[in-house]
Amino acid sequence: MLTSINHIGIAVKDLEASIELFKKIFQFADVHREVVEEQGVSIASFKVGDVLIELTQPTRDDSPIAKFIEKKGEGIHHIAFNTDNINSDLARLKETGIQLINEEPRPGAHDMLIAFLHPKSTNGVLTEICQHK
Ligand code: ZN
């Protein structure tokens, strides 16, 4: 079951510049940094209430984030929802005809298992579901 919003992913070209920009807006002190090789991204995230804002910069030209920025520019890339059981949610969504990008969970940031649903199936919103390992 999807229980709450975990994070909002924002695609950025320049991570350091974006951190400075968002610091002015949200006045956070702590930034969590992580490189997820699997996704070809470098991430900086900070909390707003219970939700993480995840600034995401591509680390290579063939990363999905690089392609997204090339096509659409910087901006909201995806919304991620917590699930209490990623495997059963993936099976359930597949059964209801939702197109999955990842049929199996993959490793994501913050030591989570993640999977993406195709935006064609979700009114254009790239949707991620995630569960702590
Ligand atoms: Zn994400």
Model confidence pLDDT, tens digit, residues 86-126:
999 999 999 999 999 999 999 988 889 999 999 999 999 99
Distance CA(79)–CA(10), nearest Å, equals 9
Q: State how many domains the chain has.
A: 1
Asked whether the predicted pLDDT for residue 39 surpasses 90, the reply is no
* pLDDT tens per residue, range 46-64: 999 999 999 999 999 999 9
- Tell me which H or E stretch contains 2: strand 2-11
Spatial contact of 61 and 69, defined as CB atoms under 8 Å apart: no
Residue 2's DSSP bridge partners are 83
Q: Whole domain around residue 95: which residue ranges?
A: 2-132
* CA 7 to centroid of ligand 1, rounded, Å: 6
Confidence label for 17 from pLDDT (cuts 50, 70 and 90): very high
Supply the CATH number for residue 48's domain.
3.10.180.10
* CA 109 to centroid of ligand 1, rounded, Å: 8
Q: What is the phi/psi pair of residue 8, to 5°?
A: -115, 125
Of 117, 65, 63, 118, which Cα lies nearest the Cα of 86?
117
* CA 80 to centroid of ligand 1, rounded, Å: 6
